[in-house]
Amino acid sequence: MSRTVTHLDSMSAPHVALLPSSGMGHLMPFLRLAAALLAKEVRVMLITAHPMVSEAENEALSSFLSAFDKVTSERLDLLRIDPEQSMATDDPFYRHIDLIRCSSHLLSPLLSSASPPLSAIMTDMSLVSAVLPVTRALAIPNYVLFTSSARMLTLFVSSHRIFNWKVMAEETDEVQIPGQEPMPIRWIPSSFLQDENDFLRNYLVENGRSMMESEGILINTFEDFEHDTLKALNDGKVISTLPQLIPIGPLPPLDHETGIGLAWLDDQLSQSVVYVSFGSRTAISRNQMRELGEGLLSSGFRFLWVVKDKKVDRDDGEELDMVVGRELMTRLRERGLVMKSWVAQNEILRHHAIGGFVTHCGWNSIVEAIWNGVPILAWPQHGDQKINSSLVLRSGIGIWEERWGWPITEPAVKAEKIAARIKEMMCNELLRSRARAMKEAARNAIAIDGSSTKGLMELIGLWKNEG
């Protein structure tokens, strides 16, 4: 009897396509979602756009595919287009998004030939407006995976109703999104604040609008972390036309996400080391690096600092001694570990020696810090990171010195200030206990009867019934 049931179940297993966009901040949550779906007997087709921007993406994809051989991997070979006709930006990750946009019609044969036919596609938040016409023509339900916070989502879905962000920023200090506390203009990503002719600004606004036409929005957050915002969104208080919003986070890191070993960390005392990283695509200025290096030294703590000198890893070839400075590097090596390579971040965050995380507050980094119960010193650099930092502060799992501002407009933060904030993070027992409590809430959310598990299972149930 039980055999028959298993057989029938596998026959009716939904088949879902996943389409991440550019950069590790988008690819990582998609890979983790793929694994979560596979674990629930969903068949997964993973579509990735090639050539990819960074080496990190290539490596993450190939190690994922070796670990999960049941996934069907499909390539979207990007068209070559005249740079003159593409998005006017020198950011390689945005240029890549634009190439996917221009190549999106090539998805059609991939999607329509899927066997068994697709129950749904999950499209990255930055590709919705380009992909919707394709999936609509094929009558494939299109869901969005939003890879940032629910608070950031309130901005995205309201953006088309704000007449002109730039003009508004000149007239007021804060934006009033319905159902939300006012949001200071200084938190808003600069791309939204460009004028009406700006391609990227228009593209972001268009994407926000297109999300309304999707079947649903999955988001890598959870009830206990963003309860009020999730409620306001799902109660239609932010925008009445919002499709179903399904918190499915935290998407847990995967077992194969391991690095080169952490012998140095193994020798350190519990919770004694500061981990410093600004994610996969943020280089800080060399001047700021020197202040940070001096700040780490004068904090008195041991540290693991991942240095990034260029936005794209392939361009980041210069020696650490040249980038940070030989004399400073000599002193840094006496107290800590400085690396200039890809690290397995979750492996670091879960190590007993890590006592705090100086982060730019990319959404995945915050979720991973929560997953491991590590307190945060928020140091946002651009994009959604101030909005995300505000959630760190409000939840009590970290601190944020808002006066440090955006690096593009503010002078480098001085070493003494950095040292003082690091000490504050490392010595605050309250932060530590709140981070521990949030870790527990995160793990409960994806436990068998957790709120995020329920949301995902209901969705899978829906696909099964429709299949």
Q: Which residues are catalytic, by number? A: 26, 124
Considering the complex, what minimum distance in angstroms separates the CB of residue 221 from ligand UDP? 13
CA–CA separation, 129 and 3 (whole Å): 43
Applying CB under 6 A, the span of 233-241, 321-329, 340-348, 418-426 interacting with ligand UDP comes to 340-348
Backbone angles phi, psi at 267, to 5 degrees: -85, -5
The interface with ligand UDP within residues 92-111 (CB under 6 A) comprises: 93, 97
**Cis preceding-peptide flag for 116 (omega within 30 of 0):** yes
Q: Residues 20-59 vs ligand UDP: string with x where CB under 6 A?
A: -xxxxxx-x-------------------------------
Applying CB under 6 A, the span of 189-197, 261-269, 284-292, 450-458 interacting with ligand UDP comes to 189-197
Considering the complex, what minimum distance in angstroms separates the CB of residue 91 from ligand UDP? 7
CA–CA separation, 430 and 229 (whole Å): 24
Q: Which is nearer to ligand UDP, 28 or 239 (CB)?
A: 28
Considering only 16, 37, 125, 370, the residue that binds ligand UDP (CB under 6 A) is 125
CA–CA separation, 98 and 123 (whole Å): 15
Q: Which is nearer to ligand UDP, 280 or 451 (CB)?
A: 280
Q: Residues 380-409 vs ligand UDP: string with x where CB under 6 A?
A: --xxx-------------------------
CA–CA separation, 245 and 166 (whole Å): 29
Considering the complex, what minimum distance in angstroms separates the CB of residue 138 from ligand UDP? 24
Considering the complex, what minimum distance in angstroms separates the CB of residue 282 from ligand UDP? 6
Considering the complex, what minimum distance in angstroms separates the CB of residue 405 from ligand UDP? 12
Considering only 364, 372, 390, 451, the residue that binds ligand UDP (CB under 6 A) is 364
The interface with ligand UDP within residues 200-259 (CB under 6 A) comprises: 204
Considering the complex, what minimum distance in angstroms separates the CB of residue 241 from ligand UDP? 20
Considering only 119, 221, 365, 451, the residue that binds ligand UDP (CB under 6 A) is 365
Considering only 342, 371, 379, 463, the residue that binds ligand UDP (CB under 6 A) is 342
Residue 126 in the binding site for ligand UDP (CB under 6 A): yes
| Cα–Cα–Cα angle for 310, 314, 320, rounded to 5 degrees | 55
Considering the complex, what minimum distance in angstroms separates the CB of residue 449 from ligand UDP? 27
Residue 185 in the binding site for ligand UDP (CB under 6 A): no
The interface with ligand UDP within residues 264-283 (CB under 6 A) comprises: 277, 279-282
Q: Which is nearer to ligand UDP, 24 or 45 (CB)?
A: 24
Considering only 129, 191, 299, 451, the residue that binds ligand UDP (CB under 6 A) is 191
Q: How far apart are the first and last CA of the chain?
A: 23
Number of residues that bind ligand UDP (CB under 6 A): 35
Applying CB under 6 A, the span of 18-26, 112-120, 214-222, 326-334 interacting with ligand UDP comes to 18-26
Q: Which is nearer to ligand UDP, 22 or 119 (CB)?
A: 22
Residue located via tokens 């049941």: 70
- Binding residues vs ligand UDP (CB under 6 A): 21-26, 28, 93, 97, 125-126, 148, 152, 189-191, 204, 277, 279-282, 306, 342-345, 362-365, 368, 382-384
